[in-house]
Amino acid sequence: MGFFKTLEINDDNDKKSGELEPTENVKCLIIGSGPAGYTAAIYAARANLKPVIIQGMEAGGQLTTTTEVDNFPGYPEGVTGPVMMEDLKAQAERFGTDVRWGEVTSVDFSQRPFKVIVDNNKPFIAETVIIATGATAKYLGLESEKKFRGAGVSACATCDGFFYKGLKVAVVGGGDTAAEEASYLAGITEKVFLIIRKPYMRASKAMLKRVENTPNIEILYEHNTKEITGTNVVTGVTLIKRKGESDEEEVKIDIDGFFLAIGHKPNSDIFKDYLETDDVGYIKTIPGTSKTNVEGVFAAGDIQDSIYRQAVTAAASGCMAALDAERFLAEQE
């Protein structure tokens, strides 16, 4: 914030500073390039808002880290995450979306038009901003997790569960997501081990009951993951079982898939000075809209959705954000 207070953003100043590139004025700046960002871009471009999209650190978003996507409507044979994101990008570009590399490093939403800085040196002045920066799944931080990512390790049961039909899997986490993912996987797989580090689950009572009443879910309380094992793909996991105050025991189980459900981190840190978020950091929107507490700033996709987190729901909310931005601009004229 202080950065903007001491800096008059205009071309003249930029040249003098020797650090900033020339300022660009845009009607609609979209931050983030997952399904929400690209869908917002498709709608905004078709409405002649000439959107500029800043791709962010992970161009294409979370889907670029998955393999097959079988649940996005319109792909009867399925599609890989990266190909789907290339398709969405191409569709957005077909209508004139300007797609840029770079990461938004700071914003000033204290007044309109808004100021947005990319890569610390590229200023934009935007009449509207659509935030679609998504959320990042948390991982345990094990070396083996990295090794088997896409080869048995996943952070999305709805995306990847199908590949484990009739097999054994483990889900780690004790919240509502873990309960939901375990229940979902129980309907597909032979057996689900639910690994919980505490002696209880923090999930809601209803979810806990559901998990407890599912015969092929085995809950392993007070277990921590030591290592995921296998050669090329996951074949097992080594757990540490807590026994009493100071005792513990190593437990090995055979599994084919290991699912993380230990929470997501919404990528909202740089907006927190201006936008209302919940305790976890999800941006709050006015129900039924993509509007944030700052008029002219909209949020779409996983950055404002801790519950559904699907590509198709993200895409739908991206559409809403573009329509909201278009209407907002029309009202200003």
- Tell me the catalytic residues: 156, 159-160
Nearer to ligand NDP, 60 or 174 (CB): 174
Among 238, 306, 312, 329, contact with ligand NDP (rule: CB under 6 A) = 306
The stretch near ligand NDP (CB under 6 A) out of 35-43, 121-129, 228-236, 262-270 is 262-270
- Residue appearing with tokens 């679609």: 132
Element (H, E) at 151: none
Using the rule CB under 6 A, which residue among 69, 262, 314, 320 binds ligand NDP?
Answer: 262
Residue 97, burial from CB neighbour count under 10 angstroms (0-12, 13-18, 19+) = buried
Q: How far is CA 116 from the centre of its chain?
A: 21
Minimum Å distance from CB 241 to ligand NDP?
13
Of 112, 197, 210, 242, the one binding ligand NDP by CB under 6 A: 197
* Contacting residue, 81, 173, 230, 266, with ligand NDP by CB under 6 A: 173
Binds ligand NDP (CB under 6 A): choice among 198, 252, 265, 272: 198
CB-CB neighbours of 286 under 10 Å: 10
Backbone angles phi, psi at 328, to 5 degrees: -60, -45
Question: CB-side exposure of 2: number of CA atoms within 13 Å?
Answer: 0
Alpha carbon distance 13, 281 (integer Å): 35
Residues 5-64 that bind ligand NDP (CB under 6 A): none
Residue with tokens 């792909």: 75
Judged by CB under 6 A, does residue 178 bind ligand NDP? yes
For ligand NDP, which stretch binds (CB under 6 A), given 72-80, 125-133, 169-177, 325-333? 169-177
190, 307, 327, 332: which one binds ligand NDP (CB under 6 A): 307
Q: CA neighbours within 13 Å on the CB side: how many for 92?
A: 34
Q: How far is CA 33 from the centre of its chain?
A: 11
Of 107 and 195, the one with the shorter C-beta distance to ligand NDP is 195
- If binding is defined by CB under 6 A, does position 113 make contact with ligand NDP? no
* Min CB(181)–ligand NDP separation in Å: 9
Which range binds ligand NDP by CB under 6 A, 13-21, 101-109, 166-174, 316-324? Answer: 166-174
Which residues between 201 and 260 bind ligand NDP (CB under 6 A)? 202
Judged by CB under 6 A, how many residues of this single chain contact ligand NDP?
17
Q: Which of 82, 96, 175, 281 binds ligand NDP (CB under 6 A)?
A: 175
Of 83-91, 151-159, 175-183, 297-305, the segment contacting ligand NDP by CB under 6 A is: 175-183
Asked if 266 interacts with ligand NDP (CB under 6 A), we say: no
Encoded amino acid at 297, one letter:
V
Is residue 177 close enough to count as binding ligand NDP by CB under 6 A? yes
Residue with the two structure tokens 């791709």: 55
Q: Nearer to ligand NDP by C-beta: 28 or 261?
A: 261
Which regions of 91-152 does DSSP assign to beta strands (E)? 98-100, 104-108, 114-118, 122-131, 135-137
- The piece of 148-156, 170-178, 295-303, 317-325 that touches ligand NDP (CB under 6 A) is 170-178
DSSP string, 191-238: EEEEE-SSSS--S-HHHHHHHHT-TTEEEETTEEEEEEEESSSEEEEE
> How many helices (DSSP H) and strands (DSSP E) are in the chain?
9, 19
In three-state secondary structure terms, 22 is coil
The residue (of 140 and 319) whose beta carbon lies closer to ligand NDP is 140
Tokens read off for 321: 């954000």
Q: Which tokens sit at 49?
A: 């808002």
Q: Which positions touch ligand NDP (CB under 6 A)?
A: 140, 172-178, 180, 197-198, 202, 262-264, 306-307
